[in-house]
């Protein structure tokens, strides 16, 4: 049997008879706000109901994962945000400066621009991995999903969006490795959902890095001696796009300290690169929005 020493026993006895509702508040501690000590039957409200009123203004945000449940509900049901983007990137080897999530950082920038250019469009969380064989993925940071797993993830995301009231679902991939899978998934879903008043398509026009390079060279006047000069699977347009997510993702501060703030013969001036990245993102957004408008008119991507 455990015996309490006299002082401890007295303390335990005193605590037993504390009046209901009192807490062990330290001297000088502020009392809890009223809502913390509401009656017990009111302390745990239902997490969501259709009747719940949104008590604050809508956030200016197009990313589903950064919206509240009430913002999502009202944007879809009241404001007609029934177009959704599903974006697929990769984690891959990109030399000593770019993070393995290169394409995912690009999608963070272009996805926002595309949604705002289209209007009434929300962006699902980025699917950060592409397809591959996990047992053969031995490069550091090169994470992949098996084709069956990736297909299931993409189809389940689209099905969830349809269930929540989205009427248009568009797949976009930022890497060449994304394109076939996204096309296959969109084709399968279009067949499965035929007659259900939901438009689903892969927008292959988004993956247009050849056009992006021409726009950079001919319109913006930024020309690399050779876009593969450094051999890092890296170039100025990728760098400038990513910097609009964060300059840290291209390790610009560290490169500046050792005079390595250049790529393929071009110096990376932070302010200039950020501005060029914005223009490149808008260029891609305009191309993608135009492609989506064509799909809306015809029901199918352009041949």
pLDDT tens per residue, range 275-296: 999 999 999 999 999 999 999 9
Mean pLDDT of the chain: 88
pLDDT in tens, 71-115: 999 999 999 999 999 999 999 988 899 999 999 999 999 999 999
pLDDT bucket at 35, cuts 50 / 70 / 90: low
Examine the pLDDT at 244 and tell me if it is beyond 80: yes
Q: For 135-178, give the DSSP string.
A: GG--STT--EE-HHHHHHHHHHHHHHHHHTT-SEEEEEESSGGG
| Domains defined along the chain, listed by start | 64-298 (3.40.50.10310)
Per the CB < 8 A criterion, the answer to whether 79 and 120 are in contact is: yes
**CB atoms closer than 10 angstroms to residue 161:** 24
The pLDDT of residue 253: 97
The pLDDT of residue 107: 99
The answer to which of 29-43, 79-93, 198-212 has the lowest mean pLDDT is 29-43
The pLDDT of residue 44: 52
Long-range contacts of 60-67 (CB under 8 A, 24+ apart): 62/111, 62/112, 62/115, 62/116, 62/121, 62/122, 62/123, 63/111, 63/112, 63/122, 63/123, 63/125, 64/122, 64/123, 64/124, 64/125, 65/125, 67/122
CA separation for the pair 225, 276 (Å, rounded): 18
Per the CB < 8 A criterion, the answer to whether 111 and 160 are in contact is: no
Examine the pLDDT at 257 and tell me if it is beyond 60: yes
pLDDT bucket at 19, cuts 50 / 70 / 90: very low
For the chain, what percent of residues have pLDDT higher than 70? 83
Long-range contacts of 32-38 (CB under 8 A, 24+ apart): none
The pLDDT of residue 15: 42
- The helix or strand, by DSSP H or E, that contains position 200, with its residue range, turns out to be strand 199-202
**Non-local CB neighbours of 273 within 8 Å, separated by 6+ positions:** 236, 239, 240, 243
The pLDDT of residue 54: 93
Instruction: For 99-138, give one letter per residue: b (16+ CB within 10 A) or e.
Output: bbbbbbbbbbbbbbbbbebbeebbbbebbbbbbbeeeeee
The pLDDT of residue 7: 47
For the chain, what percent of residues have pLDDT higher than 90? 75
pLDDT in tens, 141-172: 999 999 999 999 999 999 999 999 999 999 99
For residue 115, which of 151, 72, 83 has the smallest C-alpha distance? 83
């Amino acid at each position: 049997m455990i015996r309490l020493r006299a002082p401890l026993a007295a303390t335990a006895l005193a605590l037993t008879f504390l009046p209901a509702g009192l807490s062990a508040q330290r001297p000088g501690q502020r009392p809890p706000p009223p809502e913390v000590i509401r009656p017990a039957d009111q302390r745990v409200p239902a997490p969501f109901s259709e009747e719940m009123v949104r008590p604050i203004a809508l956030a200016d945000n197009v990313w589903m994962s950064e919206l509240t449940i009430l913002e999502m509900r009202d944007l879809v049901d009241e404001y007609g945000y029934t177009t959704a983007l599903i974006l697929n990137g990769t984690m891959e080897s990109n030399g000593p400066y770019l993070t393995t999530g290169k394409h995912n950082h690009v999608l963070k920038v272009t996805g926002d621009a595309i949604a705002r250019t289209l209007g009434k469009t929300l962006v699902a969380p980025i699917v950060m991995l592409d397809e591959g064989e996990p047992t053969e993925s031995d490069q550091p940071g090169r994470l992949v999903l098996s084709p069956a797993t990736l297909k299931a993830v993409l189809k389940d995301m689209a099905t969830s969006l349809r269930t929540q009231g989205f009427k248009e679902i568009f797949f976009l991939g930022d890497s060449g490795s994304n394109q076939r899978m996204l096309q296959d998934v969109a084709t399968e879903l279009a067949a499965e959902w035929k007659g259900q008043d939901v438009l689903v398509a892969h927008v292959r026009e988004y993956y247009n890095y050849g056009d992006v390079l021409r726009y950079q060279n001919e319109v913006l006047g930024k020309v690399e001696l050779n876009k593969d000069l450094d051999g890092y699977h890296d170039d100025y347009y990728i760098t400038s796009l990513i910097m609009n997510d964060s300059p840290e993702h291209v390790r610009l501060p560290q490169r500046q300290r050792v005079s390595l703030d250049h790529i393929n013969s071009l110096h990376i001036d932070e302010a200039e690169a950020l501005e060029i990245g914005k223009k490149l993102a808008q260029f891609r957004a305009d191309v993608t929005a135009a492609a989506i408008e064509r799909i809306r008119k015809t029901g199918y991507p352009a041949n």
